Structure 1
Amino acid sequence: MTARPVLSIVAVAGLGLLGACSATTGSGAAPAGPAPTSVVVQRQAVAQNTTKLVAAEVAGLGQVLTDENGRTLYRFDKDTANPPASTCDGDCATAWPPVMATGSVDVQGVDPALVGTVTRSDGSKQVTVKGWPVYRYAKDSAAGQAKGQDVGGLWHALTPGGGKAASAERQTAINTTNIPGLDTVLTDQNGMTLYLYTKDTKKPSKSNCDGACATAWPPLLANGEVAVNGVDPKLVGKVTRSDGSVQVTVGGWPVYRYAKDTAPGQANGHGVNGVWFEVEPAGCKVAEGKKPLTSSSSGAAGADPGSASY
């Protein structure tokens, strides 16, 4: 009487072993029980371990990078690309989840040579594009959203080339205005005075103002085609910066705004450290002997203690 249950248990165990063996070796007909399930699980595991970088159009930004779910990807100005380093941990990484390289990285519309990884402070591996660590934004809840664009002036949607995506609120423009003491100078689409940096080069065009310099002197980035008014269009061009963004040039010189100019008509950057000057319509610097009559005294015609050596 006691032998029958024992035989039944052995039989069931034998079936279980047979099923596991069949699923492992693939020999013979697959049983209708657990084998198909184990195959599905394996496929799901492979999919979950594949990170995707996809170039896609996002309204208001043009072509940017998205993940496998269509969510916009971002870069952080406080990180560095050379060498790659992430400075977003703790609460920052909760708001801006890093894109982790837990398996293979699949790219669509992205040069694979630009894609790499960086080791974070916790030892995990984060995906990089042209050296920049890549993030999502927790407040983007659906594909096509880009709520993280320009947050704090530090977060920007990532272009396929690793640069910053430009918001489409207003087209970049080169205009002219008259500033007493300086005569006719160039301004951007918002009427803010434009400058050139004599430590840059104009032939070939090259910007040497990055990092803290670019914070004090924000480069005028090209948002779409550049509208030109009062300037020979042949003098207006573009140059790719070290971070992959595209800066406007005039006469070959990369052009900038000055953070201490807070309203149109100001020219507080005139002559700062002897290397920053307004730009004339011909693409040349305003003469050093000239002096703006309408700007505040801070930063005008002399060294600016807040701008280091630039």
Structure 2
Amino acid sequence: MNRARPAAAASITFAGLALVAACGTNPYATSGAVQPVVLGAQQQPASAVPAGATAQLMTSTVDALGTVLADGEGHTLYRYAKDTAEPSSANCAGPCATTWPPLISDAPAVAAGIDSALVGQVTRPDGRKQVTVAGWPVYRFAKDTGPGLALGRGVSADWAPITPAGEKAGTERPTLGTTQIDGLGPVLTDADGRAVYLFTKDGRGAGKSTCTGACAKKWPPLLANGRTTVPDGMDAGLVGRIRREDGTTQVTVGGWPAYTYAADTKPGEATGHGTGGTWFALEPNGCKAEPTQRPPVQQARATNPGGY
């Protein structure tokens, strides 16, 4: 049975903290476009939102798809393969836009439980403003007559329900992975292979993030959009969620809110490790990564406590 479920406004507690492994014991240590059609005022196809209104976005749960993006009434939203996200371009017009009504909004859409930085607008061929998510123009399917339906999936390979992150629903990527980084050993990564970090000023188990505003642009929070998956061998009980001040939901690992670093430009980098003495790459056991080898001075002092 399909069902719509708006994103909860209350804080989300993190799960399984009693299972947090002792830090310092890392179990992984050994291991062809459609031509636009300009329509006259009397020919404009229906929109998912009445003229002059502001669109709303929320999340919805659809069987076999998980979490998808929905409009304010819970109708599943879709993306079109013949559109583009960079730059945003809407190519579904004329009869296409009758079957797939664009989500029109005169003002920026109001997003609940969705990263507002991903939400934008694009001007359609008829001059109206269409809502975009991660650059993709979003649409409804005319035969989805109620919340929680996704009858548009499978109608055409060009159309797919869209997730709150702008991805195609039903092609979920893993939330967390691991990679070996020179000098640190195995650390957690996001779906794109970028190192995941903790911020010591948050406090372990505090249940909130202190990195907001400009900080969050430099250190983007790892957002939880749907089910959080973990790599083989990692204790899933270490992973939880918190609600951020902007309404989005952030992944936590071992009680630490998780982030990436904007300056890490490719997989296998952890250039943010040690920044300010407060940012550290996360191990799969929920602890900050430690150097795999101590610097020569520390090694000498360990064997000669009295110094030189």
Higher relative contact order (CA 8 A, sep 6+): 2
Q: Which has the larger radius of gyration?
A: 1
Query: Normalising by structure 2, what TM-score?
Result: 0.48
Query: Normalising by structure 1, what TM-score?
Result: 0.48
